[in-house]
Amino acid sequence: MGTTVMSAPRTELMYIDGEWVRGSSEETIRVANPTTESVIATVPKGTREDAKKALDSAAKAQKKWEELPPLERASFMLKMAHMIRERKEELARVLTTEQGKPLFESRLEVEGSASHFEYFAEFARRIEGDVLPSDNPRQTVMILKLPIGVVAAITPWNFPSAMVARKLAPALITGNSVVVKPSSNTPLSAVEMVKIAEEAGIPKGVVNLVTGDGSEVGDELCGNKATGLVTMTGSTEAGRKIMQSASNQLGKLILELGGKAPFIVWRDADMEWALKCAVWARYWNCGQTCISSERMYLDRSVKGRFLTKFVEMSKALRIGDPLSKGTDLGPMVSMRERETSERFVELAGGEGSKVILGGRRPTSMKKGWYLEPTVIDGVQQDSPLVQKEIFGPVVPVLEVDSFDQAIDMANDSDYGLASYVFTKDNGNVMKAMHKIRFGETYVNQVGPEQLQGAHTGFRMSGLGAEGSRYGLELYTQLKTCYIDWSDRPGLPYLFPYN
Ligand code: NAD
């Protein structure tokens, strides 16, 4: 009889001023594998003191980093992209082991991380300011885009690799230095990314990593005057707290927060395609994606047919070990996240709503934080199932009688990140583009978002944007210079004091 040999948890460190360090406290954070529930690694539980040291190191290093021509900064980033692609398999395994998404999804995420470095490296020759005519003769007005200084990059657990890349890449190309603070659930992908930055030769202090609690390390990074920009992806609740701490230093903020994407299927849609998209949009990453479909609005005339098929397809998803080939749905990231989703499922039953699929922990899995694909029909618009973010494989279903009604119900939300519309009618498409008040509308397709698109949220889904040239600009500080090049400097109104 064989026995399962559990390997000892590995010990990872923080990276401050070019050194891998334990930090000022002996305390550690235990990182668990959501599939086996066992501890796979520890990372230091950083303190305010560690955060301050990292900020100091970043501030010092930034001065030289900004002196490099952008093309040189880009060459480090392209090296990183190359190394990420070379190590794709190894990085994808680390990601799946700490986060739980199926390996094929982790591979896609790791490729996405490399693409972020490539995309932003392309801007090396395009961080363009403006040269403007002056109101006066022989003068010129120039607007420069300068680095901000130190960027605090605070990342969530649902895309532990790509979110680090999404913040590091624009910060580095624009001449900023960075302190990364990953989620305590999934710090290992961030550790790997920083190791790659080190191996790619990025000068010491330009990239730092501090692990620890949001309420301590995160809070220090946001409120400290050494920070010039806070870029955070995470929950709306944490985003609010970050705004408060950042007000201490009146720093710039980019917040990518929660979502509650409506998924509208109109009667003329290509049903087969819409069904495939509906399955991916809800169950991708076990429903833990900020752009996940979180409420389906189905045209009443096709609802019965669509829902029967959707339930069949949801049921057919293969739940299993995310490292195994053929697994469609892995576990959720933590026991806590599963319990939060389960509490939403418990709300079903009121006002005629009913769980028509799932809602339980699958009996086929002896370990792991799994939850079955869950469909709840007959849900009312004002239910928390429709109004609150459900970060798991649970979807409420509603029916609509007109396309306008679907748009109104979609907009009736505190959130405004992603939205989906399936229709062949051009009028409906245009209406959706103009009237759905969300930062992204996917028409007859699903995500993930693309690098050249601005990933941005209306209402409580965020502030600013990531990706695209609009996102890049937020990593720069505008400065206007007024230059007099006349032979006889000075203007009559400036010195009228004869
Ligand atoms: P979270 O808000 O709990 O944590 C995100 C990060 O913020 C973590 O690193 C955490 O330690 C840190 N943090 C928490 N409180 C803080 C504070 N007071 N000061 C400074 N830092 C603090 O989010 P999560 O649970 O890791 O991620 C899930 C959430 O992220 C979901 O709501 C999801 O919709 C959202 N998300 C949004 C996007 C997007 O692009 N809009 C992408 C992915 C995830």
Q: How far apart are CA 486 and CA 498, in angstroms?
A: 22
Per-residue confidence (pLDDT) for residue 491, from 0 to 100: 66
Is the pLDDT at 497 greater than 90, yes or no? no
CATH number of the domain to which 338 belongs: 3.40.309.10
Q: Is it the case that residue 24 has pLDDT exceeding 60?
A: yes
pLDDT value of residue 487: 81
In a domain, 490, yes or no: no
Q: What is the pLDDT of residue 92?
A: 98
Residue 137 pLDDT exceeds 90: no
Instruction: Give the Cβ contact number of residue 295 at 10 Å.
Output: 25
Same structural domain, 245 and 387: no
Catalytic residue among 12, 192, 256, 399, which?
Answer: 256
Residues 279 and 249 both lie in one domain: no
Please name the residue ranges forming H helices in 181-235. 188-199, 219-223
Which residues' Cβ are closer than 6 Å to ligand 1? Answer: 154-159, 181-183, 214-215, 218-219, 222, 232-235, 238, 241-242, 245, 256-259, 290, 389, 391, 417, 455, 457, 462
Q: Using CA atoms, how far apart are residues 229 and 464, in angstroms rounded to an integer?
A: 12
Instruction: Output the pLDDT for position 3.
Output: 36
- With 0-12 / 13-18 / 19 or more C-beta atoms within 10 angstroms meaning exposed / middle / buried, residue 254 is buried
Residue type, 382: D
Going by pLDDT thresholds of 50, 70 and 90, the confidence category of residue 7 is confident
Residue 449 within a domain: no
The Å distance, Cα 233 to ligand 1 centre, comes to: 5
Percent of the chain topping pLDDT 90: 94
149: domain CATH number is 3.40.605.10
Domain extent for 245 = 10-257+461-480
Which atom of ligand 1 is found nearest the CA of 258?
34
Residue 450 lies in a domain: no
Same domain, 218 and 280: no
145 and 215 in one domain?
yes
Same domain, 232 and 134: yes
* Residue 409 counted as domain residue: yes
Same domain (yes/no): 295, 412: yes
97 and 195 inside one domain: yes
The reply to whether 473 falls in a domain is: yes
Whether the Cβ atoms of residue 31 and residue 39 lie closer than 8 Å to each other: yes
Q: Is there a catalytic annotation at residue 286?
A: no
**pLDDT of 1:** 32
Provide the angle, in degrees to the nearest 10, between the axes of the packed helices 403-411 and 426-435. 20
**In a shared domain, residues 197 and 135:** yes
Catalytic residue from among 277, 286, 290, 449: 290
**pTM given for the model:** 0.96
Judge whether 388 lies within some domain.
Answer: yes
Quote the number of domains for the chain. Answer: 2
Q: Is residue 136 part of a domain?
A: yes
Residue 275 shares a structural domain with residue 246? no
Average pLDDT over residues 161-170: 98
Say whether both 35 and 119 belong to one domain. Answer: yes
Is the pLDDT score of 29 beyond 60?
A: yes
